[in-house]
Chains A and B, each alone.
Chain A
Amino acid sequence: MSEHIEVGNKKIDVDEDGFIQKWEDWSKDIADYLAKTEGVNEMSKEHWVVVNYLREYYTQYKIAPMIRLLLKETGKRLGQEKAVSNKYLYELFPSGPAKGACKIAGLPKPTGCV
């Protein structure tokens, strides 16, 4: 019962929430495709800062960073002195950092608690 998306000519397996199943499947095209499903019409420079950081962090630690760290690092990479606000992240990714940004970055689904 696997679900999939089609980007270009490639079929990519996703879970029921639309998270891609294989880390290696990810590409910039797929990120663009997934962005549209998450209410991000155009991936701006700021979007890529967040997505690239998530991917770097995941490559190193095999886990998504905590929100606080993400806010700090995003602020730093955007050349600000302070961390960006959580609200700003929701302006970039309407469905939020866990659902939106992580999905676009091709990270596995964060195991949230209820």
Chain B
Amino acid sequence: MKGRKDIAWKGVRKQRIDQWGHIKPIENDFLLNPLLLDIRGSGIERKEYYMADEIKKRKTPLLDELEEGPWPSFVTDLKKMAEKKPKANDLLGQLELSYKEKKGHWKHGGLVGVAGYGGGVIGRYSDSSELFPNVKAFHTCRVNQTSGWFYTTEALRELCDIWDKHGSGLTNVHGSTGDFVFLGADTDALEPCFSDLTKAGWDLGGSGSDMRTPSCCNGPARCEFACYDTLDMTYDITMTYQDELHRPAFVYKWKFKMAGCPNDCVASIARSDLAVIGTWRDNIRIDQSAVKEYLDKGLNITSDVIMKCPKQCISLDRNELRINNEDCVKCMHCLNVMPKALRPGKDKGATILIGGKAPIMEGALLSSVLVPFMKIEKPYTEFKDLIERIWEFWDEHGVSRERIGECIQRVGMGNFVEAIGLEPLPEMVSSPRDNPYIFYEEYLEEGEEEEE
């Protein structure tokens, strides 16, 4: 047995040149090793190869490929963690097997949680736990992140210490919903972990058919373009809707994202059901002396700013920049190129957009305008009233697993807007009607006689 293994590990030596011209010897190249070529059919070899308990370090030729190149690699992180955490070591093994067999080895679904909460923990079970006993259960915990992802180093250490104690030590910072994600816990570890988190003042985020953890951009904390306090609003919404966050009762998931300006650094338009994007309704503020400075420093305003304006509403008149604000579509290009000279107007607020989603049940959708301009001020009453009317409608008319965007497509924007009590506006039209066969209904008031 030992002899056979030796042959297997020795493999055929060959050399390869990587993209920087370095010669790299490759040991145990999987494809060149006849003993390991077909592991799918032969249970014994597969087991020998992957049940590497006696071998401290797993052989992961395919995953090693992911470490090539100048970018940081999660494989490197996994290997580092694998030295001290058996869970991470087995995860490496299972992932290598997945690449080998071109097949995921997580079972579908899993339902675990902590008492009092319906969300925040996602169940994961391995279908190959006989090979990788330490990842038999590998649950995910979502921890509600801070607004704008600002942490002190103490806070980060605290989170990592809690996770080192209860889980695999592996984290995903941050997941695409925004949460600080803990990866890989046993079922028994969930309650103690949750209790340590809450003792330290943290809480779980959302999962399943609930309000997912709201997230936002850096906002006014770091950015001069922010048109409202994204950080405060996100915190306020999170605290107001704790019940919706922790106890799933919606027909499907609901995501909020707050972006401070139309640059939309959190990609709220694509990644949230309800996007709050900061904007202004007066004129872009221009500092003509700063414009002159840009000119003196050699910025070609005509080609880099004026020609790139999608609405062609900027002109340069004897070194004075003029903007026809009525035509401006808030693309942010000129502000981004000349941040010292141009600033958003003073009358700030946000545009509310609805319906964005990734393709899971149906195709992807981008959000479209629901409210062209809303003042965003504490305590956000106007916003919350609107949200609650939308939720009520969605609860009543949404079918199971239907995002709000799909629901609006099904019932029609006109019906939706009427049901939530908004006046229809031209801004709500996301694209002009392309069907030439338009049937205009005649609406007659009661008592009115048909004339012709």
A residues engaging B (CB < 8 A)?
1, 16-17, 19, 39, 66-68, 71, 86-87, 89-90, 94-99, 109-114
Structural contact, B253 and A113, CB atoms closer than 8 A: yes
Q: Given A16-B110, A66-B251, A71-B249 in contact, is the A114-B243 Cβ separation under 8 Å?
A: no
> Could you tell me the dominant secondary structure of chain B's interface residues?
loop
User: In the complex the two chains form, what is the Cα distance from A10 to B100 in whole Å?
Assistant: 42
Q: How many whole Å from A76's CB to the nearest CB in chain B?
A: 17
Contacts of A87 in B (CB 8 A): 243, 247
Q: B192 to chain A: closest CB distance in Å? A: 15
Extra contacts, 12 of them, besides A110-B111, A114-B140 (Cβ < 8 A), are A1-B129, A16-B125, A16-B137, A67-B249, A71-B249, A86-B249, A89-B247, A94-B115, A96-B248, A112-B207, A112-B209, A113-B208
B129 and A98 contact, CB distance less than 8 A: no
Q: How far is the CA of A110 from the CA of B108 in the complex (A)?
A: 11
Contact B115 A95 (CB under 8 A): yes
Residues of A within 8 A of B38 (CB): none
Interface set of B (CB-CB < 8 Å, partner A): 108-113, 115-118, 122-123, 125, 129-130, 137, 140, 207-209, 243, 247-249, 251-253, 360, 395, 400-401
A112–B111 touching, CB < 8 Å = yes
B249 near A90 with CB under 8 A, answer no
B117's partner among A96, A109, A110 (CB-CB below 8 A) is A96
Question: How many contacts between A and B, using CB within 8 angstroms?
Answer: 67
* Given A90-B118, A96-B118; A111-B247 close (CB under 8 Å): no
Q: 4 tightest A-B contacts by CB?
A: A96-B118, A94-B115, A67-B249, A114-B122
**Complex: how many Å from CA A99 to CA B140?**
16
Q: Which of B112, B115, B122, B247 is in CB contact (< 8 Å) with A17?
A: B112
**Minimum CB distance partner of A66 in chain B:** B400
Closest to A97 in B: B118
User: Are A39 and B115 in contact, CB atoms less than 8 angstroms apart?
Assistant: yes
Shortest beta-carbon distance from B271 to chain A in Å: 15
Chain A residues within 8 Å of B137, by CB: 16
Contact sample, A vs B, 20 pairs, CB 8 Å cutoff: A1-B129, A16-B110, A39-B115, A66-B251, A66-B400, A67-B248, A68-B395, A86-B243, A86-B247, A90-B117, A90-B247, A94-B115, A96-B248, A98-B208, A98-B248, A99-B113, A112-B109, A112-B111, A113-B208, A113-B360
